[in-house]
A and B are shown apart, each in its own frame.
Chain A
Amino acid sequence: MVDRDEKQTLKYLSPAEIQPNPENPRLIFRQEEMESLMLSIDKHGIQVPITVYKDGDRYTLIDGERRWRCSKKLNRKSIPALIQSKPNELENLVLMYNIHSLREQWDYYTIASKLERVMKLWEDEQGYAPNEIILSELTGLTRGAIRRCQLLIDLPDRFKTMLVEELDRPKSQQRLSEDFFIEMERSLKTVVARLPEYEPRVEQIRDTLIAKFRAGTISAVTDFRQLSKIATAVEGLGVAQRQARSALNEVFDPKAKVSIREAYEDAVKFEYVEKQANRFAISLLDFIDDVEKEKRTAELDDDIKQSFKKLHSQLGRILGLV
């Protein structure tokens, strides 16, 4: 690898001499953040030089694409730039991650799109595939972020294209997001792990879920968590596989206008609420045990006694004791 401590030269370059780095994992530049940077540059100039390397008769950006774009918009005659030697492809990518991703939150597709390449280049160079820890050290990303990226990397190409096309649109015209795909993929992984018979249909299921999301039948990306809960209810709550499968079949049926929420409420919501109530009941019993052990019954105030009386009477009715 090139020694990064080697001497860099500072020069003032015309924005026209500079070109964006094709390997820049950052693909998304939003209006609001760009305008606020543009205002700052207009008022105070560029305080931190951009970093470039000489590439033929032009300079390629390593760091500073936002500053460069703003400078072009502001018709600035020159930009301060640190010029360093040309890095190899892996160095170039790793540099980008370390320069950019630590500075601010990137969109996941932005990161994922180049992470796959980093993994490949590392494997070519070192002879083995990098694990999450190595990737985290190389790129400065958290392991959670790498796992989320992996979900996007594993998407079939046509869904990746769909996502890129969506991200290329202005924000107000975007419907599908990285969060949508991350949540959908996570839930499908859970479903397939519990009910493997869905695996051969996953591609078609994705199409159905996307269509239902676009049509508003699935109203929020967080609804996919309920899809996972339907699948996990088979093991965790002892819900019959048939019941869970029937709910999932309705969600995965493109002709049935059944939302995830409806399926969740019909099939497993009661079981989840029941489980939660059981946890409350156990916690209440623990509390009563403690009160008795510590002989603090006399300290219980009137409100709690009143609630206990009501509970006693209702429990008696439910359990047929009264």
Chain B
Amino acid sequence: MAMDLTSGGGSLIDSAKKYFADHYHNPAMKTSSEVDKSLSYSPTLQFKIHSHLLVLVEVSESPYPGILSMRRTDIEDLQVPIAVFCACPEEAYLGEQADAKRLINHGFGLITIAKDGQAQLRANAIPLIQRISDAEFKNELKGLPSTIKRRLVEANDRYIASPPSGVADIAEVLEGFIVKAGKECAGKQWINAKFLKPQTPASTLDAMQSAAQLSSAMAAIGSVRGYIAEYRNVSHHFPRNRAAAATKYRECRHAFLDGLKRVNSFRTAMRSRGLTGGL
């Protein structure tokens, strides 16, 4: 039986090992060993999912072990994408719901282990460096109509599963706004309809930038153009190593939040010119 911080963890460690071995197809697991020299924390278990995503598991008798709250920022600061799970007894999870909720809100995953050793996933873990809190995300949605909110929630789901795909999805949402605005501009004969070809948002934006009626929306149009050029194909470039992956995850986080801001600013600019600013 493996030994960790507490004496009651042995059976939990065995069950957690089994769960992750089944779930991730037997990755090589290390027990109670160092993650990085600069990190003052040795998790109960650690394994690599692929060349640039490390998973740490802290087995604990409570749903939010002290060491995770103590080392959260230090883990985020490492130049490696790291996803962290807590594995705790089912009874502790049921009895300490507030702590479990806090753990999940802080970006950690959670599995619970029943008396018979069966493990159950309660929340998935995403790399801490890519994590956008619920509060931060909701704040960016303020003032948007429900249809757009729903579309952005969908993009966020994609972001959680894969940050580059989430960012590319935001670029797609922005393209939707451009197509709609372009059509409305052509309807008002501010731009020529020949610039509305599908899959060519740049030419639509160029035409909009040349329209005198949209002169006060130049900044918003320009920023959306730059965003699409930079992030439309972001998911196609797979990082070379763990450090490049960490940089990419960090950039994706920035890009996703920036994309949400640009949705808002583009929509506001279009509405100020009498367009719907919709999708």
Interface residues of A (CB under 8 A from B): 20, 27-31, 34-35, 38-39, 42, 69-70, 72-76, 167-173
Of the residues A20, A35, A73, A167, contact of B42 by C-beta under 8 Å: A73
CA distance A73 to B35 in the complex (A): 11
Residues of B within 8 A of A (CB): 1, 3-12, 32, 34-35, 39-42, 60-62, 65-67, 70, 88-89, 91-92, 95, 115
* Option from B4, B62, B70 in Cβ contact (under 8 Å) with A39: B70
Q: Is the CB of B60 within 8 A of A76?
A: no
Which 8 residue pairs of A and B lie closest in terms of their CB atoms, listed nearest first? A172-B91, A170-B8, A35-B66, A31-B61, A170-B61, A29-B7, A172-B92, A170-B89
Are B60 and A38 touching (Cβ within 8 A)?
no
Tell whether, in the assembled complex, residue B66 and residue A168 are in contact, meaning their CB atoms are under 8 Å apart: no
Question: How far, in Å, is B46 (CB) from chain A's closest CB?
Answer: 12
Among B4, B61, B92, which residue has the most Cβ atoms of chain A within 10 A? B61
A31 touches B70 (CB 8 A): no
Whether A75 and B39, one on each chain, are in contact in the complex, defined by CB atoms closer than 8 angstroms, is: yes
CA distance A2 to B42 in the complex (A): 37
The complex places the Cα of A174 from the Cα of B35 at a distance, in Å, of 32
**Partner among B7, B11, B41, B92 whose Cβ is within 8 Å of the Cβ of A74:** B41
Query: Is B89's CB under 8 angstroms from A75's CB?
Result: no
Specify which chain A residues have a CB less than 8 angstroms from the CB of B67 in the assembled complex. Answer: 35, 38, 73-74
B5: contacting residue among A27, A70, A173, CB under 8 A:
A70
- Pairwise interchain contact B115-A173, C-beta atoms closer than 8 A: yes
**Contact of B62 with A75 in the complex, beta carbons under 8 Å:** no
Whether B7 pairs with A73 at a CB distance below 8 angstroms is no
15 A-B pairs with C-beta separation under 8 A: A30-B7, A31-B8, A31-B62, A42-B40, A69-B3, A73-B4, A73-B41, A73-B42, A74-B40, A74-B41, A74-B42, A168-B1, A168-B10, A169-B11, A170-B6
Residue pair B8, A69 in contact (C-beta under 8 Å): no
Q: How far is the CA of A169 from the CA of B40 in the complex (A)?
A: 27
Of the listed residues B7, B40, B67, the one surrounded by the most CB atoms of chain A closer than 10 A to its CB is B7
User: CA of A34 to CA of B4 in the docked complex: distance in angstroms?
Assistant: 11
Cα distance A42–B65 when bound, in Å?
Answer: 15
A75-B40, A168-B11, A169-B11 as given contacts; A34 in contact with B6, CB under 8 Å:
yes
A168 to B14, CA, bound (A): 13
A contact residues around B62 at 8 Å (CB): 31
How close is A77's CB to chain B, nearest CB, in angstroms? Answer: 9
- Given contact pairs A39-B66, A75-B39, A170 touches B5 in the complex (Cβ within 8 A): no
Given A30-B61, A72-B32, A173-B91, verify A168-B7 contact (CB < 8 Å): yes
Given contacts A39-B70, A42-B70, A168-B10, are A34 and B5 in contact (CB under 8 A)? yes
- Apart from A69-B4, A167-B7, A172-B92, list 8 A-B contacts with CB within 8 A: A42-B70, A73-B5, A76-B40, A167-B8, A169-B115, A170-B9, A170-B11, A170-B89
